[in-house]
Amino acid sequence: MYLKDARAIVTGGASGLGEATVRKIVSSGGKAVIFDLNKEKANQLIAELGGGNVYFLATNVTNAREVEANTNKAKGFLGTINMLINCAGIATPGKVLSRKGVMELSQFEKVVQVNLIGTFNVIRVVSSHMEHNEENEEKERGVIINTASVAAFEGQIGQAAYSASKGGVASMTLPIAREFASKGIRVMAIAPGLFETPMFEELPESAKEALGKSVPFPNRLGLAEEYARLVESIVTNPMLNGEVIRLDGAIRMQPK
Domains and CATH numbers, the chain: 3-247 (3.40.50.720)
In this prediction, residue 208 carries a pLDDT of: 76
Residue 197 corresponds to which amino acid? T
In this prediction, residue 202 carries a pLDDT of: 64
Note the helical H segments in 32-190: 39-49, 64-78, 105-112, 118-130, 160-180
Helix, strand or coil for residue 136?
coil
- The Cα-based distances of 122 to 87, 154, 218, 238, 246 in angstroms read 11, 26, 33, 22, 22
53 contacts 32 by C-beta, under 8 angstroms: yes
Give the phi and the psi of residue 143 in degrees, each rounded to 5: -135, 130
Give the dihedral sign, CA 245/251/253/256: negative
Rounded to 5 degrees, what angle do the CA atoms 96, 97, 99 make? 135
In this prediction, residue 204 carries a pLDDT of: 73
Note the helical H segments in the chain: 16-27, 39-49, 64-78, 105-112, 118-130, 160-180, 205-213, 224-236
Note the helical H segments in 79-112: 105-112
Q: What is the pLDDT along the chain (256 residues), one digit of tens a residue?
A: 999 999 999 999 999 999 999 999 999 999 999 999 999 999 999 999 987 899 999 999 999 999 999 999 999 999 999 999 999 999 999 999 999 999 999 999 999 999 999 999 999 999 999 999 999 999 999 999 999 999 999 999 999 999 999 999 999 999 999 999 999 999 999 999 999 888 777 667 877 788 889 999 999 999 999 999 999 999 999 999 999 999 999 999 999 8
- The Cα-based distances of 194 to 9, 17, 218, 228 in angstroms read 24, 12, 11, 15
First CA to last CA across the chain, in angstroms?
Answer: 40
Listed in sequence order, the residues at least 6 apart from 170 whose beta carbon sits closer than 8 Å to its beta carbon are: 148, 152, 153, 189, 191, 244
235 contacts 6 by C-beta, under 8 angstroms: yes
Catalytic option among 2, 55, 162, 227: 162
Listed in sequence order, the residues at least 6 apart from 139 whose beta carbon sits closer than 8 Å to its beta carbon are: 184
120 contacts 172 by C-beta, under 8 angstroms: yes
In this prediction, residue 205 carries a pLDDT of: 81
- Tell me, yes or no, if 162 is annotated catalytic: yes
